[in-house]
Structure 1
């Protein structure tokens, strides 16, 4: 692409008054953008800030606080670290993400790389990683190395091309339904904890009515901020307990403090046996990236207008940025496990906004939340957290999955994804169904015949066998004991 084409955004931009509706204006903005890959992208020359950009920025900040806290707490529990350590490390992680990666990469250097978020599906495995002799730094560095290798080799986009609409739609349906069920259960568990379960019922019912009305007036992109405010007001008005406890401040920025033997993680630097212990989990973590990243890109495609391919998320570049963020963040002392930032991408796609402007605002909000401290208390308050995830991530995923599985051919593959994901997990469901779908055993038979032998069965078979071997090793198959203990290096 010529430089003259890349600089055409400023020339082709038209004011809002030139369009019949705000939606038409936002769609035109997406169609005229020409992001510069790995070169400076500047506000007003290459993109503009709009009020809609605040929506994904707020959603991403709330999601960031919650997800990083969940990861660090999952490490801290088995290691015997305090809640104060968790809060301090989360604040440190938010500064790393905001200053070094969110603004620098997604905001300026590569606007088609999604923000590097948090690897939620790996959280349940963290206690097992610690019990197996794992070390947070060893895990983070290995995930960063493997992820960067996959991104540079463009393996992520290859796996995305081999995934049909039926497989992807089924994956979105499964993740959306599981997420909705989980958040509702957590909300009721929170309310029942102080014998006021009706608060959860009123909050969820009000959220349903609000979401339906926003769908009706075509302003669904407001669901996260309005839903969060609504949930907080209702819960507080009905007597739910809440108080601010995190005071303003700046976390310790010295890596030597975090990786000291008597400070921070209190583990010191990792040794060889630590890397051996985390190897299977690192492979599994990176393997989980492909379906996750693919789902975020597909969600953009479903919400963006035609002729916007150039602003869609690049899966391989996102992998490289997430891997770099993982390695750097871990080396500095953070406990986050990186992935594509879903709580940013989903609301950004709904609001019909590209990545860079919202990324800059997200970075600003993350810095403010980390320094002020008090917003972190509100963001992790159960009614605000659950409602934000429900309306900002899981309900939109359900809708997108339904859109992709309306045809009979796609519904076959979708059903197998849901079935096999329920048996083991989404990684197993995705890899198995991609293999069956590309072989032509289910789904669109003609699609399988159009693929080469390498793409039809060789690559899907290798991926499936590799993932099954890793999952078998760490004990993720129901009813089958973990084989990982036989490879463990005692220390």
Structure 2
């Protein structure tokens, strides 16, 4: 590729597929010539194109979005005594907010360097604790938006990413991939055992492994999500698994006053000062979780995309600004989603070798369609479709990327410590603790540690680790250690 290839516009550099010897060469060229304009208008055909490969991340993202938002809203709704119909209504509302205001407008138009703003899955286990602590969804969303915006505009996210070595990042990807696969396998077997057909889960998973190996052999791994979802649905139905469409077409209530009323929607009213105090440590932890999450997504792009495609990579700080804005706006409007970088979009997009904007438009349209029609949501959250899509589209690729990052040098030492530390507490602890040890030169490459300077070697990693430990101690996330919040209350 010529050194001045980026001096001309995308429109001038674009060539039809007929000029290339293979589809892969064409897609690689598209990644190498794209020049997204940050916080300016990007137009279809002038600045990017939509290819049929964009359907892959679009489908995966829509399935993942429905599932994750339903899980988060449901986790909030259950202790508040809200009905399942409320959860469905709020999920449909969140799909429209995400699709129209942020997926299409920001990632598809104003800043294709920002990954789509998805859902904060790692925070899900803490939601019941947030509610029990007197937390309010709007208060939590506004604080996450505030802290995330500060981290984004100060470029703190990209700084932490630069201070994370390949060994630390690879270990984090290995852990997240393995834990994710294990969780989905357990969920699929639990579902099948519910109607005394445990063998159904075994058959679906065996066929998934064979299908994935075959796609890897023919170098069409990016087809794993749609083929896997279709295969799982067909096999499950053929073997007699129960399924029915129950959600009818319609539009959710779009009035924020309804959602934040005293007797309607969440039935919580507008948050007071005490609500913000209650959710403060959770908001800090949520934003701290963003850096390793965003870093993993960016690294996956770097491993999957060809050389000289740097401009197609997601910008961590821009993604933080986008996610924090989406969080604050969505919470004010009435949504219960907790925002983060959209992993079920960016990972399949990387495998399919597609830049962010084209698939963002497709994702937005599919989310709008699912929200309005209703019944596609039933199929997306059906366990065989959901579990297989997440395994082949997110968690297996994460493990592969982690293995690839830990093949050279002394990266395996750091990777092993990340896994152990993450098992002990959680991935945030594992990442921050091992980053500190790695940058001090106690593990990993000592030459790298020597070139970081005082700030990068111990000051920033040390401060990050101490702040996160204090927050986690407040909430009670250290095994066997009582929560400091409860101690203070007593």
TM-score normalised by structure 2 residue count: 0.98
Work out whether residues 148 and 320 of structure 2, in 8 Å CA contact, stay in contact via their aligned partners in 1. yes
Alpha-carbon separation, structure 1, partners of 2:252 and 2:215 = 39
Once the two structures are superposed, residues 398-417 of structure 1 have per-residue CA deviations (whole angstroms, 9 ceiling, x without a partner) of 00000000124011100000
Aligned to 2:323: 322
Aligned to 2:283: 282
| Structure 1 residues without counterparts, runs of 5 or longer | none
Aligned to 2:46: 45
Aligned to 2:206: 205
Aligned to 2:227: 226
**Aligned pairs for 1:253-332 within 5 A:** 253-332=254-333
1:461 is the counterpart of 2:462? yes
Aligned to 1:476: 477
1:129 is the counterpart of 2:130? yes
Work out whether residues 6 and 35 of structure 1, in 8 Å CA contact, stay in contact via their aligned partners in 2. no
**Aligned pairs for 1:53-202 within 5 A:** 53-202=54-203
Alpha-carbon separation, structure 1, partners of 2:31 and 2:139 = 40
Work out whether residues 228 and 388 of structure 2, in 8 Å CA contact, stay in contact via their aligned partners in 1. yes
Alpha-carbon separation, structure 2, partners of 1:486 and 1:279 = 17
Structure 1 pair 104/488, CA: closer, same or farther in 2 (3 Å)? farther
**1:6 Cα shift?**
6.9
Once the two structures are superposed, residues 413-440 of structure 1 have per-residue CA deviations (whole angstroms, 9 ceiling, x without a partner) of 0000001001000000000000000000
**1:483 Cα shift?**
1.0
- Farther off after superposition, 334-343 or 303-312: 303-312
Once the two structures are superposed, residues 259-306 of structure 1 have per-residue CA deviations (whole angstroms, 9 ceiling, x without a partner) of 001000001011011000000000000000000000000000000000
Structure 1 pair 6/361, CA: closer, same or farther in 2 (3 Å)? farther
Once the two structures are superposed, residues 83-113 of structure 1 have per-residue CA deviations (whole angstroms, 9 ceiling, x without a partner) of 0000000000000000000000000111110
Alignment: residue pair count: 486
Q: What SS class does the counterpart of residue 410 from structure 2 fall into?
A: helix
Alpha-carbon separation, structure 2, partners of 1:477 and 1:356 = 40
Aligned to 2:429: 428
**Aligned pairs for 1:316-465 within 5 A:** 316-465=317-466
Aligned to 1:248: 249
**1:310 Cα shift?**
1.1
Work out whether residues 98 and 367 of structure 1, in 8 Å CA contact, stay in contact via their aligned partners in 2. yes
Alpha-carbon separation, structure 1, partners of 2:164 and 2:191 = 38
**1:485 Cα shift?**
2.0
Q: What SS class does the counterpart of residue 214 from structure 2 fall into?
A: helix
TM-score normalised by structure 1 residue count: 0.98
Work out whether residues 31 and 307 of structure 1, in 8 Å CA contact, stay in contact via their aligned partners in 2. yes
Work out whether residues 7 and 46 of structure 1, in 8 Å CA contact, stay in contact via their aligned partners in 2. no
| Structure 2 residues without counterparts, runs of 5 or longer | none
Indicate the RMSD between aligned Cα atoms, in angstroms. 1.0
**1:7 Cα shift?**
5.7
Alpha-carbon separation, structure 1, partners of 2:83 and 2:414 = 45
Once the two structures are superposed, residues 152-183 of structure 1 have per-residue CA deviations (whole angstroms, 9 ceiling, x without a partner) of 10000000000000000000000000000000
Work out whether residues 67 and 120 of structure 1, in 8 Å CA contact, stay in contact via their aligned partners in 2. yes
Q: What SS class does the counterpart of residue 64 from structure 1 fall into?
A: helix
Alpha-carbon separation, structure 1, partners of 2:124 and 2:488 = 22
Alpha-carbon separation, structure 2, partners of 1:451 and 1:351 = 35
Structure 1 pair 264/45, CA: closer, same or farther in 2 (3 Å)? same
Structure 1 pair 6/144, CA: closer, same or farther in 2 (3 Å)? farther
Alpha-carbon separation, structure 1, partners of 2:6 and 2:124 = 44
Alpha-carbon separation, structure 2, partners of 1:408 and 1:390 = 29
Q: What SS class does the counterpart of residue 337 from structure 1 fall into?
A: coil
Work out whether residues 134 and 274 of structure 1, in 8 Å CA contact, stay in contact via their aligned partners in 2. yes
Alpha-carbon separation, structure 1, partners of 2:69 and 2:352 = 25
Alpha-carbon separation, structure 1, partners of 2:421 and 2:469 = 13
Once the two structures are superposed, residues 2-47 of structure 1 have per-residue CA deviations (whole angstroms, 9 ceiling, x without a partner) of xx96761111111111111100110011001111111111111111
Task: Give the ranges of 4+ consecutive aligned residues of structure 1 lying more than 6 Å apart after TM superposition.
Answer: none
- Farther off after superposition, 277-286 or 8-17: 8-17
1:214 is the counterpart of 2:247? no
